[in-house]
């Protein structure tokens, strides 16, 4: 199951959950952790603390086997182990060989995140200028309007699902605008991305199906921009020069795929987790109303505490590190969220402190693959939360037991009913 409750009002997630066989209970989190276990999804913090004390680089045989580092310094070191720890397959569960596509044709499905240097360097360089504060100025104005429009749609009702009706609606529209694709396809984009990163994680055929849908969609968009250039990111990538020519179609298709996939679940999860926190912690919610100067540190602290993204590496060779040996091909989960809770690095790491001053969190990763969209993500989070709090300063969970959390690759609430006055 990818959700914490057996019964939920998310029919797609429910159908997928029902099709996944029951798993044995976890015997010991340090040797048998289960990234889809209901308790772990709801509260991974307790499991990480136990691992850090007893076995800071834990292992499981579940889902093809993986290692889970939990200490900040280990994550820092491992992120620098390039190319020994390769990014070619960064999803936490590998697809079976028969469903893997790409390397044999030279086609990289989602560079730079699925690439090692040197391909990672030049694909990343092509993206970065479009995600500077100046590069996202048009999206900032758009996001402000969008957040107000979404709230206009439910504020009179006195209640809404803050995940479905709000958090989930923002990132797909923003990234659709940036890419220059049809924003009325937002429901499709959400379905596709959940198919790849959430519901398809344990269902390889589902994941491969949505991977192909996204690829075919962008293949058509790229062909269109080659013929009819527009003022959008797809056109800009088509016109980016590399080694005396333009970026090849397959590279641009992969990069667009990455923007859609990296841009949606992640930010939606961060906004949703922050709203869950504010709905369930009255003091923090009221403090933000009384002390608006806290917004900068508050957004960073909510990013630290509820960091959503775990990416993976595969050992390209046998590697010794920290008393363990990763065998060639082993999967290592880059537990950036766990590093953010390491008490050796963060004072009172288990507490959300909205005014935390020293906060070198790693929610956006570390090193060469550090999030290329972090300016956009921070902007979306800040605008979404500030606009919500301006319009709905008092709100609370209407049914705490109805809240469901997705996890594995990207952790965040998927059902989040709230009421407000
Ligand atoms: C709160 C929201 C987000 C979080 C927490 C997040 C987190 C991350 C993390 C942890 C990585 C590192 C991956 C690794 O080490 O393998 C990453 C990479 C990346 N992210 Fe984000 N991300 C967010 C939003 C976005 C957005 C909105 C975009 C753009 C649309 C984006 C684009 C990327 C790209 C292109 C990479 C790959 C960079 C590279 O491999 O060089 N992300 N992100």
Domain ranges of the chain: 11-420
Q: Is 44 in the pocket of ligand 1 (CB under 6 A)?
A: no
Q: Say how far apart CA 258 and CA 256 lie, in whole Å.
A: 5
342-362 residue pLDDT tens: 999 999 999 999 999 999 999
63-84 residue pLDDT tens: 999 999 999 999 999 999 999 9
Contact 417, 397 (CB under 8 A): yes
Q: What is the pTM of this model?
A: 0.94
Nearest Cα to Cα of residue 271 among 413, 152, 131: 413
Query: Nearest 5 degrees, angle CA 178-CA 124-CA 328?
Result: 125
Nearest residue by C-alpha to atom 14 in ligand 1: 369
The confidence score (pLDDT) of residue 342 equals: 98
Q: Is the dihedral of CA 40, 43, 48, 53 positive or negative?
A: negative
> How close is the Cα of 41 to the center of ligand 1, in Å?
21
Write the DSSP symbol of residue 413: E
Q: Is the dihedral of CA 317, 318, 324, 329 positive or negative?
A: positive
> How close is the Cα of 152 to the center of ligand 1, in Å?
30
> How close is the Cα of 214 to the center of ligand 1, in Å?
18
Q: Is 175 in the pocket of ligand 1 (CB under 6 A)?
A: yes
Q: Is 411 in the pocket of ligand 1 (CB under 6 A)?
A: no
Q: Is the pLDDT at 4 greater than 50, yes or no?
A: no
Residue 53 vs residues 50, 120, 144, 148: alpha-carbon distances, Å: 5, 35, 44, 46
The atom of ligand 1 lying closest to the CA of 258 is 35
> How close is the Cα of 19 to the center of ligand 1, in Å?
30
The confidence score (pLDDT) of residue 224 equals: 98
177-189 residue pLDDT tens: 999 999 999 999 9
Q: Which CATH class is domain 11-420?
A: mainly alpha
């Amino acid at each position: 199951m990818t959700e914490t409750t057996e019964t939920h009002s998310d029919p797609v997630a429910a159908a997928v959950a029902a099709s996944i066989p029951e798993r044995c209970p976890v015997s010991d989190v340090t040797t048998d952790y289960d990234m889809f276990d209901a308790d772990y999804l709801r509260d991974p913090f307790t499991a990480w603390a136990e691992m850090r004390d007893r076995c800071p680089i834990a292992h499981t045989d579940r889902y093809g086997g993986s290692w889970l580092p939990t200490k900040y310094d280990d994550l820092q070191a491992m992120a620098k182990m390039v190319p020994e720890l390769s990014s070619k397959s960064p999803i936490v569960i590998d697809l079976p060989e028969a469903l893997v596509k790409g390397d044999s044709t030279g086609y990289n499905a989602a560079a730079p995140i699925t690439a090692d240097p040197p391909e990672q360097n030049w694909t990343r360089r092509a993206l970065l200028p479009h995600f500077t504060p100046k590069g996202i100025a048009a999206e900032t104005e758009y996001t402000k309007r969008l957040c107000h429009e979404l709230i206009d749609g439910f504020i009179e009702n006195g209640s809404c699902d803050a995940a479905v009706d709000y958090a989930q609606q923002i990132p797909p529209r923003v990234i659709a605008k940036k890419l220059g694709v049809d924003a009325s396809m937002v429901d499709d984009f959400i379905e596709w991305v959940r198919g790849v990163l959430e519901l398809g994680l344990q269902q390889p055929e589902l994941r491969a199906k949505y991977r192909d849908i996204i690829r075919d969609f962008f293949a058509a968009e790229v062909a269109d921009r080659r013929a009819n250039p527009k003022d959008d990111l797809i056109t800009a990538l088509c016109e980016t020069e590399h080694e005396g020519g333009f970026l090849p179609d397959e590279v641009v298709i992969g990069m667009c795929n990455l923007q859609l996939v990296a841009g949606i679940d992640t930010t939606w999860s961060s906004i949703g987790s922050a709203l869950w926190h504010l709905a369930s912690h009255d003091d923090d919610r009221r403090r933000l109303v009384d002390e608006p100067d806290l917004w900068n540190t508050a957004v960073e602290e909510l990013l630290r505490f509820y960091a959503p993204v775990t990416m993976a590496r595969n050992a390209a060779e046998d590697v010794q590190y920290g008393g363990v040996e990763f065998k060639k091909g082993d999967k290592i989960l880059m537990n950036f969220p766990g590093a953010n809770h390491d008490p050796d690095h963060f004072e009172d790491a288990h507490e959300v402190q909205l005014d935390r001053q020293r906060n070198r969190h790693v929610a956006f990763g570390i090193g060469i693959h550090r999030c290329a969209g972090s300016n956009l993500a921070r902007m979306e989070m800040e605008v979404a939360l500030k606009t919500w709090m301006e319009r709905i300063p008092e709100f609370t969970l209407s049914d705490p037991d109805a809240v469901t959390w997705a996890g594995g690759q990207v952790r965040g609430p998927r059902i989040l009913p709230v009421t407000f006055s």
